Amino acid sequence: MQFSARILGAALGVVLAAGTATAEEDKAIQAAIKARQSLMQLYAYNLGVLGAMAKGEIDYNATGAQAAADNLVAVNGLKMGAVWLPESDNFSAKNTRALPELWENGPDVAAKAKDLRESLVAMQAAAGTGADPMKAALGDVGKSCGACHKAYRQP
Amino acid sequence: MQFSARILGAALGVVLAAGTATAEEDKAIQAAIKARQSLMQLYAYNLGVLGAMAKGEIDYNATGAQAAADNLVAVNGLKMGAVWLPESDNFSAKNTRALPELWENGPDVAAKAKDLRESLVAMQAAAGTGADPMKAALGDVGKSCGACHKAYRQP
């Protein structure tokens, strides 16, 4: 019984140590999480427009496709790296699926971010030129999104 | 009793008429609502950075202030007018506080959007030049946000 109590005490100690962020820090972390999820939503919305054209759910139109592609590049260009705060992974914070590994693999994350940027710039060049080039570019964007999600987002 | 039933029937008819959107339309409307709320979140996040500097909660720094201001202008420049779909007001759709009046006052909405754009461009010019000019510009941005929210967003 005493042994169990000691184990329980140790376990609680770990939990409490993990929970030492101040209310102010928690607020900043939650604001950052909300902001990066908003970035993801804006990617999703514009990819949704292109995806609907690719699947024929809506007619391809060059102006709309170009606008969506321009938006993707603009969202990617926002200077919002600060939303990836330390201690804002899904082990340390609530309301996120970002794995701690994202903070532990800087060079791989940077390489995947570069792939994403390149696939979006290629989409921006292709989107207004026709449905087929847009579809091909969309495949590459999907791959670069998926590579990062697979490695660094909780399924 | 028969009279009441008739009134009830008429009322139900109105409700049913308001609810005739297809599942596909509902999906598009909810996607648009989510996307515009994400836009608002990105405004809020970047205004939050500037606001924290203005209130002295964090130290003013020119680079961070400039980045936040650049982000505000970039978010404002996204070609996402399509997220303001017809029938996506808070009378016709769920999960939104956008009042139907927003769709009924085109010229006033356009004037308020122009005010917002101008206040953000002024912020972009001021943000990196010092805490005091940034604070002054922030007041004007707040006024342009507030004007539209007061007129067109459910309290």
Nearest CA in chain A to B57: A24
Q: What is the ipTM of this complex?
A: 0.85
- In whole angstroms, give the CA distance from residue A89 to residue A33: 9
- In whole angstroms, give the CA distance from residue A131 to residue A146: 22
Which residues of A fall within a CB distance of 8 Å from B83? 45
Q: What is the tens place of the pLDDT at every residue in A6-65?
A: 444 444 444 444 556 788 889 999 999 999 999 999 999 999 999 999 999 999 999 999
Q: Would you say the C-alpha torsion B154, B89, B51, A32 has a positive or negative sign?
A: positive
Which residues of B fall within a CB distance of 8 Å from A32? 45
Q: Do A127 and A61 form a contact (C-beta atoms < 8 A)?
A: no
In angstroms, the Cα distances linking A87 to A84, A94, A100, B27, B53 are 9, 10, 8, 35, 22
Nearest by Cα to B71 from A117, A83, A135: A83
Q: Does A121 touch chain B (CB under 8 A)?
A: no
Q: Do B111 and B86 form a contact (C-beta atoms < 8 A)?
A: no
Q: What is the tens place of the pLDDT at every residue in B109-152?
A: 999 999 999 999 999 999 999 999 999 999 999 999 999 999 99
Give the pLDDT score at B24: 84
Q: Report CB contact under 8 Å: A48, B31.
A: yes
Identify any residues that bridge with B98 across adjacent strands, giving them in sequence order: B153
Q: Do B63 and A79 form a contact (C-beta atoms < 8 A)?
A: no
- Show the tokens assigned to B78: 């996204």
